[in-house]
C-alpha cells in the first residue's frame, strides 16, 4: 500500500478524502493532520468513519512532516497550502492540493482574484490543473495537481466541450450551491436556522471561480459572469449557463461536440435527451459519488443555449477529483477508490 498524509483532515473536504481513502485499495491513510485536534481520535471529528479508523489520532503539522509518505492531500484554506506544498516538494513527495493556491496560470489573474502577489510562482508553473477530464495525460506521472473550485469544475464540465470547438461567444453562469461549500467552521450565514431552506443570492456577476472557468475554457474573463445562490441542500452544485453561441447550430452538432469531449470518461456522463424530466441534471443524482452530469437545451433560434451541469462539491468538486489526480500521478488505475455509487434518493 502507498502511504498518504491528509492536511486539513478535521475539515469538510479533508474528511471526505479520509472517507475515500478508507475504501481505497492502493492508498492507505497514515497521517491525518490537524492543528487544533492533534492527539484526539479522528473519529471524534468524523464519527461516520469510526469503524474505519478506530485507533488513529490526529497528528500535529510538525510531526506530520517527519512521517514518510508517498502522497499528500492538502485540504487547507487558500494561502495556507503553498508553504506545505513547498515542504513536500523538497522531500520529493507528490501533492494533490485542494486549495486555490496553485490553480491559476496567470499571475495577474491570481493577484486580481486573491488580492496579493503569488508567493511561490514556481509552484504555479509546476502544477497541473487538477481536472482529469481535461488534463488526464499531463497528470500521469506529474508531481503536483492543483485543486479545482467546485463551482469552477461544475461550470467547466458544462462549457469546455463547446468552447473547445469555438462555439461559445459569452455565457451567464448561475450556480446553486449546498452549505458544505463553506467548510466546517460555523458562520452567521451558514448557521442552520439562517442557512436551511434559504435561496440567498450572493457575489453577483463575479465569483472568483470565474478566473478558473476562463482559464480552462480558453476565453477572456469578460465572456462570463458568475452569480451564486445558496440553495437548500448540504452537498451539491448545479450550474445553469445561458450561453450566446458564436454561430447558429443544430442539436446534432451539439451532441457531437459533447460526445467528443465526454467519450468514455469514467466519471462524466451526458444527460439523456429523453425523458424530458431527466434531460437537465439534478445534483441529487450524483450525491456521494465522483460523478458529473452535463445536459443542454437549445433555443429554437439556434443561437441561445442553456447548459446545465451537476456535481457533488465535496467529491468531483474537491476530494474525489483530488484522489483521481493522485491515482494518475502515482500510476494507479484512475478510478481506484472512487467507484462508490450516488445515494438516491437523498
For residue 294, give the C-alpha cell. 452535463
184 lies in the binding site for ligand NAP (CB under 6 A): yes
How far is residue 150's CA from residue 156's CA, in Å, rounded to a whole number?
10
The DSSP bridge partners found for residue 228 are: 175, 202
- Kind plus residue range of the DSSP H or E element containing 74: strand 71-74
274-281 long-range contacts (CB < 8 A, ≥24 apart) are 280/306, 280/308, 281/238, 281/308, 281/309, 281/310
288 lies in the binding site for ligand NAP (CB under 6 A): no
6 lies in the binding site for ligand NAP (CB under 6 A): no
12 lies in the binding site for ligand NAP (CB under 6 A): yes
How far is residue 124's CA from residue 50's CA, in Å, rounded to a whole number?
37
- Kind plus residue range of the DSSP H or E element containing 245: strand 237-245
Q: Give me the least distance between CB of 248 and ligand NAP, in Å please.
A: 36
Q: Give me the least distance between CB of 327 and ligand NAP, in Å please.
A: 18
Nearer to ligand NAP by C-beta: 80 or 270?
80
11 lies in the binding site for ligand NAP (CB under 6 A): yes
Query: Which residue is nearest to ligand NAP, using beta carbons?
Result: 11
Q: Give me the least distance between CB of 205 and ligand NAP, in Å please.
A: 20
Give 92's DSSP letter. T
Q: Give me the least distance between CB of 113 and ligand NAP, in Å please.
A: 12
147 lies in the binding site for ligand NAP (CB under 6 A): yes
For residue 12, give the C-alpha cell. 469538510
78 lies in the binding site for ligand NAP (CB under 6 A): yes
Q: Per the residue annotation, which of 150, 154, 217, 325 is the catalytic one?
A: 150
Collapse the DSSP code of 224 into the 3-class scheme (helix H, G, I; strand E, B; otherwise coil) and give the result: strand
How far is residue 309's CA from residue 175's CA, in Å, rounded to a whole number?
10
- Kind plus residue range of the DSSP H or E element containing 21: helix 12-22
317 lies in the binding site for ligand NAP (CB under 6 A): yes
42 lies in the binding site for ligand NAP (CB under 6 A): no
Span near ligand NAP by CB under 6 A; candidates 112-120, 168-176, 183-191, 250-258 = 183-191
Span near ligand NAP by CB under 6 A; candidates 8-16, 24-32, 193-201, 225-233 = 8-16
Q: Give me the least distance between CB of 71 and ligand NAP, in Å please.
A: 17
How far is residue 234's CA from residue 179's CA, in Å, rounded to a whole number?
5
150 catalytic per annotation = yes
How far is residue 168's CA from residue 74's CA, in Å, rounded to a whole number?
34
Q: Give me the least distance between CB of 73 and ligand NAP, in Å please.
A: 10
How far is residue 205's CA from residue 226's CA, in Å, rounded to a whole number?
5
List the catalytic residues.
Answer: 150
Give the binding site for ligand NAP (CB under 6 A): 8, 10-14, 34-37, 75-78, 80, 98-100, 147, 150, 180-181, 183-185, 313-314, 317-318
Amino acid at each position: 500500500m502507498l502511504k498518504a498524509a491528509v492536511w486539513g483532515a478535521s475539515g469538510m473536504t479533508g474528511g471526505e478524502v479520509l472517507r475515500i481513502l478508507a475504501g481505497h485499495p492502493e492508498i492507505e491513510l497514515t497521517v491525518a493532520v490537524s492543528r487544533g485536534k492533534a492527539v484526539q481520535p479522528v473519529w471524534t471529528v468524523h464519527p461516520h468513519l469510526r469503524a474505519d479508523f478506530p485507533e488513529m489520532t490526529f497528528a500535529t503539522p510538525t510531526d506530520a512532516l517527519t512521517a514518510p509518505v508517498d502522497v499528500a492531500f492538502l485540504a487547507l484554506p487558500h494561502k495556507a497550502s503553498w508553504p506545505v506544498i513547498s515542504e513536500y516538494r523538497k522531500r520529493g513527495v507528490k501533492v494533490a492540493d485542494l486549495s486555490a493556491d496553485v490553480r491559476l496560470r496567470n499571475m495577474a489573474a491570481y493577484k486580481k482574484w486573491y488580492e496579493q502577489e503569488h508567493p511561490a510562482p514556481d509552484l504555479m508553473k509546476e502544477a497541473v490543473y487538477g481536472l482529469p477530464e481535461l488534463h488526464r495525460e499531463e497528470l500521469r506521472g506529474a508531481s503536483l495537481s492543483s485543486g479545482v473550485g467546485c463551482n469552477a469544475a461544475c461550470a467547466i464540465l458544462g462549457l469546455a466541450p463547446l468552447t473547445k470547438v469555438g462555439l461559445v461567444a459569452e455565457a451567464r453562469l448561475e450556480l446553486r450551491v449546498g452549505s458544505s461549500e463553506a467548510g466546517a467552521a460555523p458562520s452567521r450565514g451558514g448557521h442552520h436556522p439562517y442557512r436551511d431552506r434559504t435561496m440567498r443570492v450572493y457575489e453577483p456577476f463575479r465569483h472568483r471561480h470565474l478566473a478558473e472557468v476562463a482559464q480552462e475554457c480558453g476565453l477572456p474573463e469578460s465572456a462570463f459572469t458568475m452569480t451564486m445562490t445558496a440553495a437548500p441542500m448540504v452537498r451539491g452544485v448545479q450550474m445553469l449557463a445561458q450561453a450566446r453561441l458564436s454561430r447558429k447550430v443544430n442539436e446534432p452538432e451539439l451532441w457531437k461536440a459533447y460526445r467528443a469531449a465526454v467519450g468514455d470518461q469514467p466519471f462524466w456522463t451526458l444527460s439523456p435527451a429523453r425523458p424530458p424530466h431527466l434531460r437537465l441534471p439534478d445534483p441529487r443524482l450524483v450525491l456521494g459519488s465522483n460523478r458529473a452530469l452535463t445536459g443542454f437545451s437549445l433555443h429554437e433560434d439556434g443561437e441561445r443555449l442553456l447548459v446545465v451541469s451537476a456535481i457533488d462539491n465535496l467529491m468531483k468538486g474537491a476530494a474525489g477529483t483530488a484522489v483521481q489526480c493522485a491515482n494518475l500521478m502515482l500510476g494507479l488505475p484512475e478510478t481506484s477508490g472512487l467507484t462508490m455509487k450516488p445515494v438516491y434518493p437523498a
